[in-house]
């Protein structure tokens, strides 16, 4: 047993010094599901939980230099991506996935921060659609990200279903649209379209609850569950339960 490498989940994402999002949030989440964490940083951001002030992005070479040793040293059983700010970074990640014998990744397309700061250059988004969507097990956009990817306006569950089908038609095997930011809803609705099979997840909306980095946590939890051998639908369900528990604790601390 001493010679076996620990089961590890890998995140390729940005570094948030406030700890709420990015690789630090991913690592905490992986640990909660019993996996070791490994990380390759795509961008060092300057931010608080409320707003992003700026960022310095890595090059393809520095990212590759982080990733290559992990293939030799770690037993990677699951993988996810977060902030991929430039076309250069997107192409480097796509090349890594094509060359490495790893589980299909969870792609969280981080386009803008909740405060409105752009986190992805326009040509990087195009590169993601063309190069990463076909490689992903699932892509997990929120409402605004799904609108950017699909070109559709999303105001309802029916709109979410249509946008998910549109994104899947671009090459994604599965799409999970996170409906937490959908307006005028008493429920938080997420729509999963896995190769045409649609599952809708509904949980009561928690009034006043807010969690910086909740999207990172959800995608990391999905990746961890997939790494633990769960099917995608089951992984999404367990990940949503985990995020709901974190939100409830966050809401309790806000109330106090």
Average pLDDT (116-140) is 92
User: Is the pLDDT at 253 greater than 60, yes or no?
Assistant: no
Long-range contacts, stretch 18-22, CB < 8 angstroms, 24+ apart: 18/47, 18/48, 18/49, 18/212, 20/49, 20/211, 20/212, 20/213, 21/82, 21/212, 21/213, 21/215, 21/216, 22/82, 22/83, 22/213, 22/216
Helix (H, G, I), strand (E, B) or coil at 120: coil
pTM above 0.75, yes or no: yes
Instruction: Name residue 218's beta-bridge partners.
Output: none
Confidence of residue 26 (pLDDT cuts 50, 70, 90): very high
Average pLDDT (111-120) is 77
Domains (range + CATH), the chain: 7-255 (3.40.1190.20)
Sequence-ordered strand ranges (E) for 58-186: 75-81, 106-107, 138-139, 174-178
């Amino acid at each position: 047993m001493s010679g076996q490498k620990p089961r590890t989940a890998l995140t390729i994402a940005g570094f948030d010094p406030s700890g709420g999002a990015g690789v630090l949030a991913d690592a905490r989440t992986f640990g909660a599901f019993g996996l070791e964490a490994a990380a390759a940083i795509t961008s060092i951001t300057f931010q608080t939980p409320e707003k992003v002030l700026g960022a310095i992005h890595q090059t393809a070479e520095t990212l590759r230099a982080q990733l290559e040793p992990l293939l030799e040293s770690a037993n990677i059983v699951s993988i996810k991506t977060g902030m991929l700010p430039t076309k250069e970074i997107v192409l480097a990640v796509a090349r890594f996935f094509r060359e490495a014998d790893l589980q299909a990744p969870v792609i969280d397309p981080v386009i803008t921060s909740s405060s409105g700061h752009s986190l992805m250059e326009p040509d990087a988004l195009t590169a993601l659609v063309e190069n990463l969507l076909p490689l992903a097990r699932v892509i997990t956009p929120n409402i605004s990200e799904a609108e950017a990817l699909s070109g559709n306006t999303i105001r309802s569950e029916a709109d979410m279903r249509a946008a998910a089908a549109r994104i899947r038609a671009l090459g994604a095997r599965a799409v999970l649209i996170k409906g937490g930011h959908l307006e005028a809803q008493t429920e938080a609705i997420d729509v999963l379209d896995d190769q045409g099979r649609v599952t809708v997840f509904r949980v009561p909306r928690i009034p006043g609850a807010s969690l910086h980095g909740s999207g990172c946590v959800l995608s990391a939890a999905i990746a961890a569950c997939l790494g633990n051998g769960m099917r995608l639908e089951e992984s999404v369900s367990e990940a949503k339960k985990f995020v709901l528990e974190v939100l409830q604790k966050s809401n309790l601390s806000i109330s106090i």
